[in-house]
Amino acid sequence: MPLHPGQSARVELVVADADTAIALHSGEVPVLATPRVLALCEEAAHTAVAPELAEGQTTVGMKVQLDHLAPSAVGHTVVAEAVVEKVNGRRVLFTVSVNDDRGLVAVGRVTRVVVDAEGFVAKASGQH
C-alpha cells in the first residue's frame, strides 16, 4: 500500500438545486448544504488514494473535522481538494479545503481507513 503524504485530488461541482440545504433537509436556504460540502471532501480524499490501493481495497470514512465558512449559491462552481497529510498504518489523514470563485468555502481534516471492501460489507451486514 504505497500511500504517502502529498498525494492529492480535486473534485469539482456546479452547485445545483439538489445540493442545497433545502433539498438535503439540513436548513432552509437555497445554498450549498454542509452535508454536500462534506461529501465533496470525502470524494476528493477517496479519489486521492484509490489508484494506489491493492485490488479489493477501498477507504471508508472514520473521522471528520470541518468548518463550513461561506455560502455558495446555486450555479457557482466549487472545488474540493484533499491532500494526504499523514499515513499511520491503515489510517490516512487528509487536509481538505473547498473553494469557489470568491475564495475559501470550507476547510478541515478527514480521516479514512483502508479496508478490504468485501470483508467490510460482510461485517456491516452481520456476516462474518
How far apart (Å, rounded) are the C-alpha atoms in residues 94 and 8?
A: 9
What residue ranges do the domains of the chain occupy? 8-124
Q: What is the pTM of this model?
A: 0.94
**Residue 59's pLDDT is what?**
97
CATH of 8-124, one of 3.10.180.10, 3.10.129.10, 2.70.180.20, 3.10.20.30: 3.10.129.10
What dihedral angle (degrees, nearest 10) is formed by the CA atoms of 116, 118, 124, 128?
-100
Q: What is the pLDDT of residues 1-25, one digit of tens each?
A: 589 999 999 999 999 999 999 999 9
* Buried-state track 83-93, b at ≥16 Cβ within 10 A, e below 16: bbeebeeeebb
Task: Give me the pLDDT at residue 10, please.
Answer: 98
Backbone angles phi, psi at 108, to 5 degrees: 175, -160
